[in-house]
Structure 1
Amino acid sequence: MSTNSIELKIENNIAFIALNRPDVFNSFNREMALLLQNVLDQCQTDANVRAIVLTGNGKAFCAGQDLKEVTSPELNPGFRKILEEHYNPIIQRIRTIEKPIVAAVNGVAAGAGANIALACDIVVATENASFIQAFSKIGLVPDSAGTFFLPRLIGFQKASALMLLGDKVTATEAAQMGMIFKVFTEENFKEEVNKLATTLAQMPTKALGLTKRLLNQSMNNNLDQQLAMESDLQIEASSSNDYNEGVTAFVEKRKPEFKGN
């Protein structure tokens, strides 16, 4: 599937989603935001999709909001509509789709682009990528759940400084502070992303989805609530075909063939 602003390719149970407005560093306009939601919905319901990769075409991952749209009297949807109809639904989909989502950050990730990446399950980046909480530079506050995820990833003090100052963080610095998982060289980036996504797609993705649900709830649960939820979801996981296959393969000393159910 290809559209003007989103590309979707499904191969080997992996959905590769590419933001495709490279001439404006993949900044979001209304069309791209709504198309991304539709594509994520498609990935959620497609049983053939067992892992998702989100990346950008061209030199950037995503520069955030297209400021030409918000400064145009004809095109500007207004910030309430942008947040409630564009970014908030994207973040909600990323967190509620019970399939692993990898953000493959191939260049600059700024503003909403940075925070969409950080909402994904695993974030990897090229050595030339960077992350910028650019909002304060133009008199805005962080959105797209940045104020929720970033303090939890790197701690309150460092998140506060990066949001107030709007400093650029290199991919290497981001990995060192726990903001992202790994950094790869430019030459090996696509290969390493494919390898990571293939590994995820071949794993017991039913259990991965339940793990994602537990991690989401751990943001709000107390210890007793989290223990109870772990018990419930462990029972659900242990009744899956993947669990039976995993245990059988272990006993038979062979590689398991998981189906994601």
Structure 2
Amino acid sequence: MTDGQPLLQSRDGGVLTLTLNRPHRKNAINRDMWASLGEALTTAANDPEVRALVLTGAGGAFCAGLDLTGGEPGGHPLDVSGRGPGAHPLDEIRRANEIALRLHHLPFPVVAKVTGVAVGAGWNLALGCDLVVATPESRFSQIFVRRGISVDFGGSWLLPKLVGLQQAKRLVLLGEMIDAAEAHRLGLVTWVVAEEEIDTFVGDLGRRLAAGPPVAMTQSKALLNEGADRTLSDALAGEARAQTVNFATADAHEGIAAFLDGTDPVFTGEWAVK
């Protein structure tokens, strides 16, 4: 792939890395980047070789949200379909929302590697990942209110679940910039790692996630995502169904055998019903 493309892709075994690549605008998202990201997420979700995904940004920033300038090739961010000024904004935003859902429903773990700023839709893009790794220099803001618009890209759903309603209102209604330490204290960042160590840390994390049992991890991720909106009875029923699926894979037998033998399991996700 070339540096002129809005999204770069690389593979390391079962780990796919997607890099937002508009560093001259701190990776602010325009129409071309939306389209590339949506296509890449769809392709990854259907690729059995992908076992984990890392989402990051080029040039020392994660993502500055939507590119509101609309003054360069790629067009206005709300025109995600490329249909031009006659398109209704609500239709265009719905198309962007489809990307948030694709990210949320990916069947494997997703890690956001955040260097520099993650603001607005860019921060909510990171929060839509399963785990977030940042550096001490990273900065975060639900900046929407400062632009005269309301929270989007899933922030109204993600934030109350992660930090509670009152802190979510604080972040959204004030639009304050917070540092990585504050984001970590609130539970919005999983790890804070020195900038010179973050590549190694995330590389190791991706390999550890990719080495896990793919079917069981898919089940667990879905159960955790769904559990936030379910009763305990619903959650227990879902867990029972998931375990039934897990025990129909070779991974469950491999994990138990490796435990008994004192060896490291090798997970494949293969169906094992005779």
Q: Is TM (by shorter chain) over 0.5? A: yes
> What is the TM-score when the length of structure 1 is the normalising length?
0.95
CA offset at residue 209 of structure 1? Answer: 0.8
Cα deviation code 1:79-106 (max 9, x no counterpart): 42442112x1121111111111001111
> What is the TM-score when the length of structure 2 is the normalising length?
0.90
Cα deviation code 1:89-130 (max 9, x no counterpart): 121111111111001111100000000100111111111111
Cα deviation code 1:147-181 (max 9, x no counterpart): 10111111111110110000111111111111121
1:188 counterpart (158, 183, 197)? 197
Equivalent residues in 2 for 1:97-112, closer than 5 Å = 97-112=106-121
Q: Name whichever of 9-18 and 233-242 sits farther off.
A: 233-242
8 Å CA contact retained: 1:203, 1:260: no
Equivalent residues in 2 for 1:234-249, closer than 5 Å = 234-249=243-258
Runs of 5+ consecutive residues of structure 1 not aligned to the other structure: none
Distance in structure 1 (CA, Å) of the matches to 2:198 and 2:166: 31
The match for 2:63 is: 62
Q: Secondary structure of 1:68's partner?
A: coil
More helix by share: 1
Cα deviation code 1:209-261 (max 9, x no counterpart): 11111112113211211111111111111221111111111111101111234
Equivalent residues in 2 for 1:63-212, closer than 5 Å = 63-69=64-70, 75=76, 77=79, 79-86=89-96, 88-212=97-221
Distance in structure 2 (CA, Å) of the matches to 1:234 and 1:202: 19
The question of 1:14 aligning with 2:5 is answered no
* Paired-residue identity, %: 37
Distance in structure 2 (CA, Å) of the matches to 1:26 and 1:231: 42
Cα RMSD over matched residues?
Answer: 1.7
Distance in structure 2 (CA, Å) of the matches to 1:147 and 1:174: 17
CA offset at residue 32 of structure 1? Answer: 0.5
8 Å CA contact retained: 1:129, 1:170: yes
Distance in structure 1 (CA, Å) of the matches to 2:192 and 2:145: 27
The match for 2:83 is: none
Q: Secondary structure of 2:245's partner?
A: helix
CA offset at residue 31 of structure 1? Answer: 0.8
8 Å CA contact retained: 1:30, 1:82: no
CA offset at residue 201 of structure 1? Answer: 0.4
Runs of 5+ consecutive residues of structure 2 not aligned to the other structure: 80-87
Cα deviation code 1:50-99 (max 9, x no counterpart): 00000000121000000112899x7462642442112x112111111111
2:231 counterpart (215, 222, 244)? 222
The question of 1:23 aligning with 2:13 is answered no
Letter in 2 for 1:167: E
Q: Secondary structure of 1:114's partner?
A: helix
Q: Secondary structure of 2:69's partner?
A: helix
Q: Secondary structure of 1:103's partner?
A: strand
